[in-house]
């Protein structure tokens, strides 16, 4: 290099580069903490909160959605928009329940605690049940069902527990004496526990000394293949429970049967097996429920006046291939099903996706509300879907209140399968307005630390029921948007509408 002159970039170029880097850094920082997909809107200022359907004490949250209608509305007013900034931590409780060496890959803490009186009840990922003093966080008692999970379980989780009070006018004297107030705990290995809410002791008068075996008459009884993960619906007479089944492992899966058990004794009262020719047929010792029936894994909702339970349904395995499905397996898949809670008889059903090839099972607890339609009060059900649609139906008969016209969708299924010619599209929707690309990502997904691969969608990021595409690098390429594990909350003044492509939807009002 002897004799060569050292050349530096012009100062203007350096300054321009610095400015560009600062701008880029600012954009990345902003994107990390902001959501460009968020849309804020307002409703009429004179709108008033809808009256609650069921009677829950103001300070209680006695069911997964506060009440069994899934309304998630609390009338308490001490905390408001003006003073919420002053909240401070009152107590911390650590369950000590962590991932174990023999656990499956997916172990999640999804619990919504319930509060009855001065006690908070919550379950952990391994379904350990804790009763805490709501004011102090001090443990009152705990119960461990000794879940023996292993890597063959698809997941380990507990979304919550249910509460029931046995009363003298609808329960035998020994039941009232044994467990007047009880907590119902679903466990991932197919057991259901009834425990005294005061002491944590098993309710001896329920099922087999407090334990109900949900594997009875199942066609497959391998632990972990049938998993009740959501709290059951509790009526004055019946426990209504469904469960998840292992996804995409085999076409010989357990049944997704929905069952009603006597709330006091645990005796089987009825069954609704979605994949059976006669859904209400109860098997005997020589017969089983139907293999691979569509299941209902998300929390359900209940209307006590109509005595109807509303169940969000999934699709039979495999999720993305339908060439070998029976008409019975198709009939109630990816639907809202309304059953009489006392008899298990079908009242109505509404299918949100026809011949589902996209795993668009109904993932959220429905929400019930009474709304004004042309001057008349109509009892409705809000059913959020993975498709981004929110279906609004008259919960008495399943008729649409908000239109959801059938529209043609792209065709072109794999050999041996087909794509439904039309699908319903609700007028109340959070579907994206255009096909998604990597440019639609936001947040710190853009940032790639040194040595860490950055994954961007490579193909088939399309809306509205395009057939899945197999690509060389991405395998089956699909995009899902819409709602999952949340729900709509209709009793509101201002609405914050939000779409998250990681399966979250929020429609809330305060």
Bridging pattern class, strands 114-116 and 155-156: unpaired
Backbone angles phi, psi at 106, to 5 degrees: -105, 105
Give yes or no: 359 in active site. Answer: yes
Tell the burial category of 463 from Cβ atoms under 10 Å away from its Cβ (0-12, 13-18, 19+). Answer: middle
Residue written as tokens 């009002």? 509
User: What is the number of alpha carbons within 13 Å of residue 109 lying toward its C-beta?
Assistant: 11
CA of residue 94 relative to chain centroid, distance = 25
- Reduced to 3 DSSP states, what percent helix, strand and coil does the chain have, rounded to the nearest 5? 10, 30, 65
Q: Give 399: exposed, middle or buried? Use CB within 10 Å, 0-12, 13-18, 19+.
A: exposed
Paired with 122 in beta bridges are 130
- The answer to whether the CB of 281 falls within 8 A of the CB of 290 is no
Catalytic choice (285, 359, 361, 427):
359
Residue 168: closest CA among 180, 178, 182: 180
DSSP 19: H
Look at the block and give the residue holding tokens 């006590």: 304
Compute the distance between CA of residue 434 and CA of residue 510 in angstroms, rounded to an integer.
Answer: 31
Beta-sheet strand order (sheet of 162-165): 162-165, 181-187, 191-196, 211-213
Query: CA angle 389-390-396, nearest 5°?
Result: 135
Burial of 111 (0-12, 13-18, 19+ CB in 10 A): buried
The alpha carbon of residue 406 and the mean position of all alpha carbons in its chain are separated, in whole angstroms, by 25
Report in angstroms the alpha-carbon separations of 354 from 197, 360, 433: 43, 10, 22
Residue whose entry in the numeric block shows the structure tokens 């001065």: 118
Rounded to 5°, angle at Cα 162 from 173 and 54:
90
Provide φ and ψ at 19, rounded to 5°: -60, -45
Residue of 462, 467, 394, 384 whose CA lies nearest to 429:
384
- What whole-number distance in Å separates Cα of residue 243 and Cα of residue 230? 7
Which are the catalytic amino acids?
359
């Amino acid at each position: 290099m002897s004799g060569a002159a050292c050349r530096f970039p012009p100062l203007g170029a350096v300054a321009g580069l610095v400015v560009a880097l600062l701008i880029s850094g600012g954009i990345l920082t902003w994107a990390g903490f902001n959501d460009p997909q968020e849309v804020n809107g307002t409703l009429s200022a004179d709108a008033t909160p809808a009256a609650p359907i069921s009677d829950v004490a103001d300070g209680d949250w006695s069911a997964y959605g506060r009440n069994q209608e899934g309304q998630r509305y609390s009338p308490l007013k001490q905390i408001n928009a003006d003073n919420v900034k002053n909240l401070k931590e009152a107590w911390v409780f650590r369950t000590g329940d962590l991932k174990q060496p023999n656990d499956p890959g997916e172990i999640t803490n999804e619990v919504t605690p319930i509060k009855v009186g001065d006690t908070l009840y919550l379950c952990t990922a391994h379904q350990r049940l804790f009763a805490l003093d709501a004011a102090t966080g001090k443990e009152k008692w705990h119960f461990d069902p000794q879940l023996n999970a292993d890597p063959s379980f698809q997941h380990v989780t507990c979304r919550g527990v249910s509460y029931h009070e046995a009363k003298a006018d609808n329960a035998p004297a020994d039941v009232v004496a044994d467990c007047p107030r009880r907590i119902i705990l679903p466990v991932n290995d197919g057991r259901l526990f009834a425990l005294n809410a005061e002491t944590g002791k098993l309710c001896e008068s329920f099922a087999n000394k407090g334990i109900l075996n949900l594997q009875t008459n199942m066609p497959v009884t391998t632990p972990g293949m049938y998993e009740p993960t959501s709290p059951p619906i509790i009526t004055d007479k019946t426990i209504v429970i469904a469960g998840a089944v292992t996804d995409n492992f085999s076409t010989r899966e357990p049944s997704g049967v929905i069952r009603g058990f006597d709330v006091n004794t645990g005796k089987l009262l009825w069954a609704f097996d979605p994949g059976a020719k006669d859904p209400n047929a109860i098997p005997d010792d020589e017969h089983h429920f139907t293999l691979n029936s569509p299941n209902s894994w998300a929390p359900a909702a209940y209307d006590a006046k109509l005595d109807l339970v509303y169940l969000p349904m999934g699709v039979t395995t495999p999720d993305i291939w339908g060439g070998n499905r029976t008409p019975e397996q198709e009939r109630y898949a990816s639907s809202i099903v309304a059953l009489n809670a006392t008899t298990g008889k079908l009242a109505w059903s509404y299918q949100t996706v026809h011949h589902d090839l996209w795993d668009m099972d109904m993932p959220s607890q429905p929400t019930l509300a009474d709304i004004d339609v042309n001057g008349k009060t109509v009892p409705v059900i809000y059913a959020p879907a993975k498709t981004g649609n929110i279906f609004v139906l008259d919960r008495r008969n399943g008729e649409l209140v908000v239109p959801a016209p059938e529209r043609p969708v792209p065709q072109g299924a794999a050999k041996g399968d087909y794509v439904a010619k039309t699908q319903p599209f609700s007028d109340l929707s959070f579907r994206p307005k255009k096909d998604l690309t990597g440019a639609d990502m936001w947040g710190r997904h853009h940032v790639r630390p040194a040595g860490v691969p950055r994954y961007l969608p490579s193909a088939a990021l399309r809306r509205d029921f395009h057939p899945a595409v197999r690509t060389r690098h991405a395998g089956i390429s699909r995009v899902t948007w819409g709602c999952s594990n949340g729900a709509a909350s209709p009793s509101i003044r201002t609405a914050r509408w939000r779409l998250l492509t990681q399966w979250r939807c929020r429609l809330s009002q305060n």
